[in-house]
Amino acid sequence: MGISHAMTGAVAWSALQLIHPQTTPVLVAGLAVTAGAALIPDLDHRDSTASRSLGPLTWVLCRVVQAVSGGHRRATHSLAGCATLAIAVQMAVQARPGVVGTVATAVLLAVILASVVHLVPLRAFKRGWLDEILAAVVAIALAMWPGLDLAMLGPAVLVGTLVHALGDAITRQGIPFWWPISRKNVRLARFKAGGWTERWVLRPAFVLAIPALLFWEPVMSFLGR
């Protein structure tokens, strides 16, 4: 389910903070991007959060992704699919400030950010286009910001999409992680998607893990004084 995928993306980026400390802006941006990117593989399903996040734009993207990837939980849930998307994002970022690179970066960011905002349970976001407009404005501003370093986008997208794939790998259906080398589904466990384990065990664990990882170093430093 969307909220679980987004939370795993944020947990993964928080964990990276322990290995490779980041500046506050990069940390905050990375949390948002990995959470959104962790929803993007499900653009291959018309009812997913990502497919409904930007109205007609993601509706069309969903149909294209479905046709290219072979359907739900196929190419987009593979290592090759995750790497391809991350490379595409990085190429778009590196092509800035050119027009093509700026537009591509803005569109990709808009889809990623809109997917996250779409999960926010605010009534204002459930009526009209406020969430889509907010995501688009922020994405355009970031893509056009002179001299803004967006080098973290590619790695953040790779982390987010990979944790999505691994999250689906622990469900009963599994995923073709090694596609196109092998189309056989990989199953690391057999949890039911949306079941009680996800709702009452995994999600609370994610909620606790994010602040614990983010504040681990400061707390340990304080206690060590």
Give the tens place of pLDDT for each residue, 30-59. 999 999 999 999 999 998 989 988 888 899
In the chain, where are the structural domains located? 2-223
Nearest to 49 by CA among 119, 133, 135: 119
Q: What is the pTM of this model?
A: 0.89
What percent of the chain has pLDDT above 90? 51
**Contacts for 16 with CB less than 8 Å, ≥ 6 apart:** 22, 30, 159
**Contacts for 7 with CB less than 8 Å, ≥ 6 apart:** 35, 203, 206, 207, 210
Q: Which of 11-15, 120-124, 190-194, 207-211 has the lowest mean pLDDT?
A: 120-124
Q: What is the pLDDT of residue 121?
A: 63
Q: What is the pLDDT of residue 128?
A: 64
Confidence label for 164 from pLDDT (cuts 50, 70 and 90): very high
Pair of tokens at residue 115:
């997917």
**Contacts for 147 with CB less than 8 Å, ≥ 6 apart:** none
Buried b (16+ CB within 10 A) or exposed e, 34-63: bbbbbbbbbbbbeebbbbbbbeeebeebbe
Pair of tokens at residue 55:
């109205």
Using CA atoms of 159, 165, 168, 172 in order, give the dihedral in degrees to the nearest 10. Answer: -150
Q: Is the dihedral of CA 217, 218, 224, 225 positive or negative?
A: positive
User: Among all chains, which residue has been given the structure tokens 């349970």?
Assistant: 121
Contact in structure between 114 and 53 (CB atoms under 8 Å): yes
Q: What is the pLDDT of residue 117?
A: 84
Q: What is the pLDDT of residue 63?
A: 94
Nearest to 211 by CA among 9, 15, 5, 4: 15
Confidence label for 197 from pLDDT (cuts 50, 70 and 90): confident
Query: Has residue 220 got a pLDDT over 90?
Result: no
Residue 203 DSSP label: H
Cα 101 to Cα 118: distance, rounded to the nearest angstrom: 25
Confidence label for 26 from pLDDT (cuts 50, 70 and 90): confident
Instruction: Indicate the average pLDDT of the chain.
Output: 88
Per-residue pLDDT tens for 121-136?
654 555 567 778 888 9
